[in-house]
Amino acid sequence: MKNKYSVFSLIKNALSQHENWQQAWGNPEPKKEYDAIIVGGGGHGLATAYYLAKKHNLKNIAVLEKGWIGGGNTGRNTTIIRSNYLWDASAGLYDHALKLWENLSQELNYNVMFSQRGVMNLAHNLQDVRDLKRRTHANRLNGIDAVWLNTEEVKKFCPIINTSPDIRYPVLGGTLQRRAGTARHDAVAWGYARGASDMGVDIIQNCEVKGIKRNGDRVEGLETTKGFIKTNKIGVVAAGHSSVIANMAGLKLPLESKPLQALVSEPVKPIINTVVMSNAVHAYVSQSDKGELVIGAGTDSYVSYTQRGSHNIVEETLKAILELYPIFSRMKMLRQWGGIVDICPDASPIISKTNIKGLYFNCGWGTGGFKATPGSGDLFAHTIANDEPHKLNAAFNLNRFVSGDLVDEHGAAAVAH
């Protein structure tokens, strides 16, 4: 690492009023040709470039970003990290990511503020109880820590939850994954950008892809707002805009892009020490280090690329939050925003080759991609470098929609998608 961050570099820079910190990543103009180009400079795209350079010894790599890095869904999510998924394939994928999270700040020499404060999923009816207990058992068989808590234990773990039996959706218990938690989402993008840039990856911002040049069944390069760039490997990590890029190559994907909203409150003193999610009423909440409540709402039901979302969705979420946490009734909300999420019919991602040689897609993360950032990048880099999936992402191929071998996490995962 060129400029290693440490307590000594902090002291040294403090002496010069913090005016001499070097840029964390470069700002190059695109070269004429690259060995591989990653389309999309969010967390997943930057992580892909990072692992391509680090583990697969590809050095001539570019990341193209139409806006600024981390300005899409990486900076718009609610930063929750967990791996308590029902099916074996998902458990393998998300727990691989969680294990990378545990050492990510050291790996990147960048504090991603990973905090294993636990994620609790609440059950509000008997079917929820059965489903969540089943998921707890499935998790433990896959080596993922998960425990079932009864109502008193839920109350003990998070005292501000209203566990009165006479509310509309009473809390009948919940599951807890203690290794789960949150991280600082911008830091993840910045850390990977710095790490990748350090190994010679060109991070090119304000560069939008306008077309994909094909020669028969293989790719030859990209038309961009900064001119034509030649390459024979393109990894697309464009989240909500994946279908737009796919259409340029004449490809159709099983995706629908919809607005997903989140909001934060005014900052207050520490009041909630974990992440609490509720599938049935679709409300989840945690508290940022700044003290804001971070609240995730649902998706709109229609395709839209507007990055806003409907008022009624926020209203429904806040109603549920208020019933579960009456203490928040006078809290003011500061900001609300939307991001465009690409949702797969089975609510599982696609990390896959396509039938066009040299074109790879990492998409379909829907409402829950942030938690997978390091794992997604690692496995996608493997897929691009070897032209074959890693065994952990083999199930997440594009062909599963033809074969019918879906990884159906709709409702099976810990939260509605």
Partner 1 sequence: MFLINCPFCGERDQSEFSSGGEAHIVRPKQPTELSDDDWAEYLFMRKNIKGIQFERWNHVHGCRKWFNVVRDTSNDKILSVYKMGEKPPVNYK
**Interaction site with partner 1 (CB under 8 A):** 241, 243-244, 247, 252-257, 301-306, 308-312, 342, 345, 401-404
Q: Which amino acid is at 4?
A: K
Nearer to partner 1, 8 or 302 (CB): 302
Taking the complex as a whole, the smallest distance from the CB of residue 253 to partner 1 amounts, in Å, to 7
Taking the complex as a whole, the smallest distance from the CB of residue 179 to partner 1 amounts, in Å, to 34
Nearer to partner 1, 229 or 350 (CB): 350
Distance (Å, rounded) from C-alpha 338 to C-alpha 336?
A: 7
CA angle 345, 141, 275 (to 5 degrees): 65
Nearer to partner 1, 121 or 261 (CB): 261
Phi, psi torsion values for 130, nearest 5 degrees: -60, -45
Phi, psi torsion values for 401, nearest 5 degrees: -80, -15
Distance (Å, rounded) from C-alpha 34 to C-alpha 28?
A: 13
Nearer to partner 1, 91 or 255 (CB): 255
Distance (Å, rounded) from C-alpha 299 to C-alpha 140?
A: 30
Taking the complex as a whole, the smallest distance from the CB of residue 219 to partner 1 amounts, in Å, to 20
Nearer to partner 1, 214 or 308 (CB): 308
Taking the complex as a whole, the smallest distance from the CB of residue 23 to partner 1 amounts, in Å, to 33
Taking the complex as a whole, the smallest distance from the CB of residue 242 to partner 1 amounts, in Å, to 8
Q: At what angle do helices 373-386 and 88-102 cross, to 10 degrees?
A: 110
In SS3 terms, 137-191 reads as HHHHHCCCCCEEECHHHHHHHCCCCCCCCCCCCCCCEEEEECCCEECCHHHHHHH
Nearer to partner 1, 146 or 313 (CB): 313
User: Can you say whether residue 309 is alpha, beta or left, with left for phi > 0 and alpha for psi between -120 and 50 degrees?
Assistant: left
Taking the complex as a whole, the smallest distance from the CB of residue 336 to partner 1 amounts, in Å, to 12
Instruction: Residue 122: name the closest of 166, 155, 75 by CA.
Output: 155
Nearer to partner 1, 95 or 256 (CB): 256
Taking the complex as a whole, the smallest distance from the CB of residue 195 to partner 1 amounts, in Å, to 32
Distance (Å, rounded) from C-alpha 284 to C-alpha 293?
A: 10
